[in-house]
Every structure is written in structure tokens, then in C-alpha cells.
Amino acid sequence: MKNQNPFNLLFPLNAEQLNYFNKLDSSCTDIQRAWLSGYFWHSANKKSNNFTTDINKKNANDTLITIISASQTGNAKLLSERLYKYLKKNNKKSRLINAFDYKFKKIQDEKILILIISTQGEGEPPEEALSLYKFIVSKKAPNLNNLYYSIFGLGDKSYNFFCQAGKIFDNRFQELGATPLLNRFDADIEYEDDYNHWSKDLLKSINNIQNSQSCDTFSNKTSSSVILKTNFSKKNPATGVILTNQKITGRYSNKDVHHIEIDIKDLNITYQPGDAIGIWYENDINLVKKIIQLFSIDLSELVKIKNQVITIFDALKNHVELTNNTKNIVKNYANITQNTILKKIVSNESSLQNYVLETPFVKMIHDHPQKISSRQLLSFLRPLTPRLYSISSSQEETPNEIHMTVGVIKKIISDCVYLGGASGYLSQSLQVDDTVKFFIETNNNFRLPENSNLPIIMISTGTGIAPFRSFIQQRDNDGSTGKNWIFFGNTNFTEDFLYQLEWQEYIKKGLITNMHVVWSRDQENKLYVQDKMRENSKEIWSWIQEGAIIYICGNATKMAKDVEKALLDIISENGKMNLDNADEFLNNLRLNKRYKRDVY
């Protein structure tokens, strides 16, 4: 390539043009020179604007078109493939995806969606589209005001429910605010000519939309319904609707774990993997009534709490802790009642500690009833405080939902069942469509690495798996290339493998590199996650050398300590260092944000 003449860079006119303008300049007045300057500036700016307009048109034409194939016998799949090639040939940016693989919970992000769908049975969608169908017709479905769509239904007119699946999707899309590009087309067995006409009309309609609107217009379609941001907090909680409340442990499990989903689509709430959700719960009505009855207090008696005059029933239901017994509660109750048995327990610290752990508050007053006033009762009860649970979903995966994994605290004493306050409320009291008050508790110390190429090791037991479900969902949606290794421990394989099918899908997909599970009661000798870690000592050390971040989530008093001891042994053995140096090495990992714990 020849070097450019520096003269040409300073003077972009050739000699003839320069000579002409010199002559013109010598014959012009100052006013004429100013006018010429403005004239040439306007001319140049007009061309620049035309260039910008061309770019905007190009961007509009680059709007991604999603084609979903929902096939029963293969016809919808073949037509979807043909449409994808046809749009590509006409310079349309599109993607083709099978309904089974479609991340339907992100459908509100679509701008143009084409659904080619067959019908089976009595008007039902094909098997591969059932998850999408159930989501769209459910209360979980988001507003689709930003969506343009078209549906091509395949069916057989000899059946009563001709193209019914396409009709259901069409009606539901419009109910959710979407705009059809064309009227839905219901095709019979001989569909070739119909498809050709439809695909051509579809292309024209897409061109009309893209040529008349820039990309900004798509996003502005819902500007009138934008929700103002609300700052929810512990003192100002949001109110969400329960979408799902499902037990996910087996029938014979000795654990009761619930998967709970909360609708947040109209709340403008954001959260990140690693964050927690704070739940403001209510005490069980039967528990409240029993306590009031044991103290011989009138349900409608008025009391004052936080400068509000309310009934004692409301106070016990919404404002004080009733399920966790404490040493101070036992001491105060013993002092007020002068109960000799309780006073003897209180006099011995060890006895008092064991009594508190083994005896719920309501059992204590059942065993040692005494008539006391509402004022005396409220004087030693603690204020009700929210319970925090690790969020078990990524907002990238479920933009309009928050998921929780709740282990129900349960004690059985003398054939009586005593439930934890928050876990009992969430698992037993809340049904689908009920509301719950909550807030987001950020946890910046338990975050995925900013570099998505880094490997991560996640170690958990029981419901400690919750944040790692959100981690894997996030890594999946981010397209992260970093390796992922999960250690998970629980009681029994058949009863307590939380989210088993999801993990198997991620393993099949290649997102989870390693997953080691251990079941403490499935063999004669109990096994735990730390045992499985020691079995994989060399590979764990190799991952650490590669820059892996280690995460632990579970019980603080035992699990977390045992896992940390196993890590120290692994570091000491493979790093050829004594335990003191291994401890310093692990502490350096912590300081460098490569060793993170979320324990409770």
C-alpha cells in the first residue's frame, strides 16, 4: 500500500479545486463567505444524517426473529426449517429453536416470534411444547406488549379440535398484549400452497414493521406502562403472589423440603445469584389461639404495640416470636409464675440450655400453665423478625419470579408436631395465589466470579444447594465457559435428591463438569460430602491451581467446619505444607475472594 501524501491530509482538495476556491474567495464579501460556510456545513450534515438513518434502518432489520418449532409428527419442524432458510436468504437475522429447548421464561425479551405448531389429542399442544404451553396459559406468564408474533397451525379438519393448540397460543398472546403480524393461519393436511402464501405475507409484514420502526421503537412500545422503581426493604416489604408451593422430598423422607415460587413481574425487583430473600411470616392461627387459651386471655383484649392499639390475637399473630424458646423467656416466665420446676431448671445453666433446645415455648406453658395478663406475656416475648432464605433462582432464567428452597423445621415431642415459625408458614399456610411480604437481602460476599471463564467448586448439603441452583442457571444464561463442580450431600438418594432432573440435564448439556453426591444413610457406614472431597483430593487441588473459586453453603456448626477441615487436609497433602501453612493458604484464598461461605 502506498503512503499517503501529507499534503492531501492537510488539504483534502486537489490543485484544480484549490485554485477555484482561491479565486472564489478573492471575489466574495465576508457575508458571502459566512453563507458559503453554512451552506457546505449543512450539506455535509445532511449526508451524515442520511448515513445515520441508514444505520437505524439496518439496526431495525437486524432485529432478531425467533422461530419456534412445536412438532408432533415432524411437519412443523420441517416447515420451521424452511422458514428459517427463507428468512436468512432474505437477510433476516433469525434463530430456529425447538419448543422443548426454548427458555420460555424469557419470552418477554423477544421482539418478533414465529410459532409453527401442530395439535395432538383433544386439542393439546405437542409433547415438546407442553412446558411452554403451561407457562403461557398460567398466571406466571409476563406482559408481552413488546412482542410481534405470527402463528402457523397444523392440523386435520376431520378432527373436532382442528388446530386448537395454535388457537390457544394466539388468544393467549393477545391477552398478554402481543401484536399479531398476520392473522393466525390454520392449515389442513394439504398445506404446501398455504405455507408458501403465508411465508411471503409474513416476510412483507416483517419488512413493514422493520422499515417503519427503528430498534428504539420496539422498546418504546411499552413506554406508557413502564413501572416506576420502588425501593422495597425490610421496613417496606414488597407483596408477592405465590405461584408454586411444592414438596420436593420423597414420601418416605424424614425431611420436608418445599420449592416455592413468588411472582414479581409487576414489582420491578432485581436480585443476583447469592442474594437472600427475607420473609415476613405470620404465626399459625391455631398456635396463637392455643397460647391465648392456656393463659386464659380474651382474644379481643386490646394491647399497645409500636404505638398501635390492636387485639392480643393480632399482636401474637403478627408482631411477636412464638416458636423459638430462649433462656431469657424461660427465666422470665419462671420469675412471673414462680413455678418451682422451672426455677430449678433455670438455676442450672446446662439444664437450662438443654431445656430450651428440647422444649418449644407452647409446650413449656402447656406443661406449666399459669394465668397471666397480656401485658406480662408481651413483656418477655421477642419481636417477630423476618427469616432469610438463599434465593434458588437466577433472574436471567426466571425474570419475573423468585424461587426459594425451604426446609421445614419440625420437632415431634410426645406425638405432638411443632413447626418452625417461618418454615411452617411458608410450607403449610401459603397456597397458590396467596400473598407474602418479602424483601431482597443483598449478599455481595457470595457472588459468582466476574470472569466467567474461571472454574468454581460448590459444596453443599440439604437446602444449602439453593444458591448453587441460581449459580448454574446464571452460568448457563451467561454462556460461561468456566468449569463447574458440585458436591452435594443429603440423607437418601431416592427421597432427598433435590432438583435431580435439573442437575441431570445440566450434566448432559456439559455445563456441570463434575457432580459428586453422597447419601449419609444409604449404606451401613455414614458418608458425608467431606469424605467425597477427600476421595477427589488431587483433582480439587488441580482446580485450585487453575484459579477455582470455592463456595460452601450449609450448616455452620458442623457441615461447614467439617468441609473446611477437609479442605485444609487437601491443601496440606497436595501442596506439601503443614497444617499451619495450609490454614494460611486457605485464608489467602478467602482474602482474594476465592473461598466464600454462606452458612447458617
Binding residues for FAD are: 323, 387-390, 405-407, 420-423, 600
Looking at the DSSP bridge assignments, the partners of residue 202 are: none
Give yes or no for a contact between 143 and 108, defined as CB atoms under 8 angstroms apart: yes
The answer for 484, left when phi > 0, alpha when psi is -120 to 50, beta otherwise, is beta
Tell me the residue length of the chain.
Answer: 600
Tell me the residue type at 144: L
SS3 of 170-220: the string is HHHHHHCCCEECCCCEEECCCCHHHHHHHHHHHHHHHHHHHHHCCHHHHHH
Neighbours of 16 (CB within 10 A): 8
SS3 label, residue 389? strand
Binding residue numbers for NADP(+): 520-521, 526-530, 562
Ramachandran region of residue 551, left (φ > 0), alpha (ψ -120 to 50) or beta? beta
Alpha-carbon span 342 to 334, nearest angstrom: 5
CA distances from residue 446 to 91, 232, 278, 559, 595 in whole angstroms, order as listed: 44, 21, 16, 18, 9
The three cell numbers of residue 26 are: 478573492
**Neighbour tally for 56: CB within 10 Å:** 15
The Cα–Cα gap between 514 and 479 comes to 18
Bridge-based pairing of strands 112-118 and 94-98 is unpaired
At a CB cut-off of 8 Å and minimum separation 6, what does 482 contact?
449, 451, 452, 453, 454, 455, 456, 475
DSSP for residue 523 = S
Q: Cell numbers 424424614 label which residue?
A: 254
| First-to-last C-alpha distance (Å) of the chain | 68
Helices (H), 385-485: 421-424, 466-478
The helix/strand/coil state of 38 is helix
Burial status of residue 46 (CB atoms within 10 A of its CB: 0-12, 13-18, 19 or more): exposed
Q: Where do runs of H (alpha helix) occur along 213-348?
A: 215-220, 285-294, 312-318, 327-337, 340-346
Which residues are annotated as part of the binding site?
Answer: 71-76, 118-121, 154-163, 323, 387-390, 405-407, 420-423, 520-521, 526-530, 562, 600
Residue 298 and residue 292: Cα distance in Å, rounded? 7
Residue type (1 letter), 428 = Q
The span from the CA of 41 to the CA of 481, in Å, is 50
